[in-house]
Structure 1
Amino acid sequence: MRNNLILFVLTIFVFSSCSDHTNQKTGESNALITKWRGVIKNDHQKEVPFYFTIQGEGKEQIWTLINGEERMEMDQPYYEGDSLHVPLLIYEAELVVKENDTTVTGEFVRNGAYRLPFEAIKGNAQRFSKNQKAASNISGTYAVKLGKTDAIGLFNQHENYLTGTFLTSTGDYRYLEGKIADNKLFLSSFDGMHILLFEADIDGDKLVNGKMWSGKSANKEWNGVADKEAKLPDANKLTFLKKGYDKFAFSFKNQKGETISLTDKRYKGKVVVVQIMGSWCPNCLDESKFFSPLYDRKKEEGLEVIGLSFERSSDPEKAYKRINSLKKRLDINYEVVYAGTTKQAASALPMLNHIMSFPTSIIVDRKGEVQLIHTGFNGPSTGHYYEDYVSETTSLINNLLKEPN
């Protein structure tokens, strides 16, 4: 690592020149941080652009994905032969690349699923190389149809720079970033799991001729209209106990072979939040970032949290490896048990009418009665929707904690 004064000044200059609304702390290290524009090409030959930074060199590199305000630091890279492998968080995915001074080329690999071409160039290149000035400003709330799915579009535009997200009944599309060029919208995101690209024409207060591409090959049409009163079905009423059930119950073994259930001494007489989740799920990661510190603050008052993790692997050893990685990354101190595969979720919890979303959270009071079942999760990218959820959920839990044991 070079630490001479000239390179240190250069480091400051290079990173501060990463404009386009990036802002990231460098911590205590003086290692050079460079900005890159990456592209993953899907089966439709559509290029999905995104930004990332690389700090340091060789196997000490730190890769950080950039989408709007979000910064997501990847896991520690490693070399295998002449290729650098960059694990993408706790997901079963990685970038496998070959490097030189100004370019990186290789593949995005969803382990056991598919591979897509990936390349990147060093520098402050535009996310979307569209040079027309914005002819419209679409900042605001929109009622949207994503294919057949009802959604809410939230957009924030400054000149031609655009950020936004979409809310649905099963969760949000996290942080999207792009631009308005003339009367066209462009947004994209790569968060280690999702590969998303949105395009649309702007026609007054309408978004028309929209196209969305996700993952390897999925695509759908979409459209929207400005509507500050746009709403979705009540997320607290979509999932409920079936007729004939008056309790929520389960019994699963943890990694130590101990049976975990709500009737255990640890949970009896406590307020318990049960997360129906998966380590593969970015919205679950966002939800865990909320529940983890809440648990640490409130456990002495009688709050418990249990994660029921439905994984894509039927091998408990592999599943717990991923679950433990999630717990370590987010500093989760409550129990998270492997509850089966995603396909087994409905049969594992037969008292629920359905499980339409990962995550789904269930809040049980000190008497063991269900007080709330919330489907999906609107994360920090959704602004006041996230803030409202955090406020309302925290208030409910505080009130339940005040009830006598």
Structure 2
Amino acid sequence: MMRRPAPLLLLGIAAVAILLAATIWWLRPPHRAAGGDVAFGTYRLELTNFPGGGLPLGLEIVREAGGPAAYLVNGANRVRAERTTIAGRNLTMAFPSYESSLIAEALPDGSLSGIARLRRRTGPVELGLRAVPGPMWRFHQRPAAPAANLSGEWLLETKGEDGERGLALIRQNGNVLEGTVQFPTGDVRFLAGDISGGEFALSTFDGNQGSVWRGRRLADGTLAGESFGATSKAGTPFVARPRAAGDAVVVIAEEKPPVDRIAFTFPDTAGTPVSLSDPRFAGKVVVIAIGGTWCPNCHDEAAFLAPYAKKRRPEGLEVIGLQFEYGDDAARAARQSQRFAARYGIDYPMLIAGSATPEGSRKALPQIGGVKIYPTTLFVDRKGRLRAIHTGYAGPATGALNRAAIAEFDALVSKLLAEPA
């Protein structure tokens, strides 16, 4: 007499079948559209002439209710293009808040070829773009067995004239690496890559800002390598060692305000002058978010601050954005700030404060000596006194550091809101 399979066995078989089906779906090649049009699905995209040997990332093009949507994939992080347009063989992924775009054409073999137009202080930068349909592997399609496990926290130091000390946070699963590097100026956002033998590589790209980190684990257990940006003439050397229990790390620095009060008047994006002394801010706690649309950490801060400002406004919180943009074109600065505000649903005033240079920020905010780090956040209490200055930001890529930074921000705002006017 045949025995029925046990219920747990049936559940196990079903789970394996579901996992296999999901894996096949994820690794499937994109559906080839008729006539060689842009296909939906997954791609391995590479910015081909990015310094350091190219910058790889994942790309997924999907159908959504409002039309096609493209996502840049950095490990578990997915960045949705602000605007995706497909017209036959032509694909455009636009990021207006950065003033950047990726433009490609579908080739007969199903791949995409084109350019990435990025924005930097010196002006537009163009990089080559190539995307191949299929799995989104990063640097090594068939990596060698890893010679080490890099998971953990590493004290990292970059070399050179502008050297910084930061904290590298790395997670390793087999050959796959994810993580970020937190500097006092901010984090480098979501890094993804792999390790092959003792050599590792990680990269990130959000539609405008990107970097590549290459290195190896040395015999003494330390890491050494170079990092590259889109305009790098040469790699920036770095070294890293495992973080010890007593090693302190500055995530978001707090500066003592050099003055008791500050004052400013700048035009908003419509050209209307707005002053900190306006009646709307009287008796309110005012958070002044100093940044620029070119600053990736300012994007992360805005994604948190926009809904936070709406939530706590009934309690007496006001937020002002002070924008320092590339160049002296006020019309462009206003346009970019409007696009930035639209992306993150910002409804507080965005003021055009000046150019993102030491001279420009000192001219705009002489009371605090200008701005050294973007973003910088000022906290003004209900009596109009400047109570705290925070510099830098720990974004979502930092995990626990981001949660701690948000908790500290919220605690300070709550304390100021509880004080009488």
TM-score, with length taken from structure 1: 0.87
- Structure 1 gap ranges (5+): 1-11, 20-31
Deviations 1:85-116 (A, max 9, x none): 32135112111211136200011112542211
- In structure 2, the residue matched to 1:108 is 116
- Determine whether 1:215 maps to 2:230: yes
Check whether the contact 1:200–1:207 (CA below 8 A) recurs between aligned residues.
no
**In 1: Cα distance, 2:304 partner to 2:218 partner:** 38
* More moved, 111-120 vs 371-380: 111-120
- In structure 2, the residue matched to 1:27 is none
**3-state DSSP of counterpart to 1:17:** helix
- Determine whether 1:269 maps to 2:277: no
**In 1: Cα distance, 2:270 partner to 2:223 partner:** 54
* More moved, 71-80 vs 175-184: 71-80
Q: How does 1:217-256 map to 2 (within 5 A)?
A: 217-218=232-233, 219-229=235-245, 230-233=247-250, 235-237=252-254, 239-242=255-258, 245-256=259-270
Q: How does 1:336-375 map to 2 (within 5 A)?
A: 336-343=350-357, 344-375=360-391
Distance apart, 1:171 and its partner CA: 0.5
Match of 1:290 among 284, 304, 322: 304
- Determine whether 1:400 maps to 2:416: yes
Q: How does 1:6-405 map to 2 (within 5 A)?
A: 17-18=25-26, 33-42=40-49, 44=51, 46-56=53-63, 60-78=67-85, 83-100=90-107, 102-111=110-119, 112-129=123-140, 130-147=142-159, 148-203=163-218, 206-218=221-233, 219-229=235-245, 230-233=247-250, 235-237=252-254, 239-242=255-258, 245-343=259-357, 344-405=360-421
Check whether the contact 1:42–1:217 (CA below 8 A) recurs between aligned residues.
no
**3-state DSSP of counterpart to 1:404:** coil
Letter paired with 2:283? G
**In 1: Cα distance, 2:354 partner to 2:88 partner:** 35
Deviations 1:367-394 (A, max 9, x none): 1112221101010111111111111110
**3-state DSSP of counterpart to 1:215:** coil
Distance apart, 1:366 and its partner CA: 0.6
Aligned residues: 380
Check whether the contact 2:104–2:115 (CA below 8 A) recurs between aligned residues.
yes
Letter paired with 1:232? V
CA gap 1:205/1:290 in 2 versus in 1, 3 angstroms: farther
- In structure 2, the residue matched to 1:9 is none
Check whether the contact 2:146–2:195 (CA below 8 A) recurs between aligned residues.
yes
**Structure 1 outlier segments of 4+, above 4 Å:** 12-16, 78-83
Deviations 1:155-193 (A, max 9, x none): 111122110111111100000001121112111111112
Letter paired with 1:152? L
- Identity value in percent: 30
Deviations 1:197-230 (A, max 9, x none): 1111113563433111111334211110001444
Distance apart, 1:396 and its partner CA: 1.2
Deviations 1:49-108 (A, max 9, x none): 000111149x94311111122211112234799754321351121112111362000111
CA gap 1:65/1:155 in 2 versus in 1, 3 angstroms: same
* More moved, 262-271 vs 197-206: 197-206
**In 2: Cα distance, 1:154 partner to 1:82 partner:** 40
**3-state DSSP of counterpart to 2:371:** coil
CA RMSD across the alignment: 2.6
CA gap 1:379/1:125 in 2 versus in 1, 3 angstroms: closer
**3-state DSSP of counterpart to 1:206:** coil
**In 1: Cα distance, 2:23 partner to 2:355 partner:** 43
Check whether the contact 1:56–1:62 (CA below 8 A) recurs between aligned residues.
yes
**In 1: Cα distance, 2:24 partner to 2:44 partner:** 16
Letter paired with 1:382? T
**In 1: Cα distance, 2:97 partner to 2:139 partner:** 28
Check whether the contact 2:201–2:214 (CA below 8 A) recurs between aligned residues.
yes
- In structure 1, the residue matched to 2:12 is none
Check whether the contact 1:303–1:401 (CA below 8 A) recurs between aligned residues.
yes
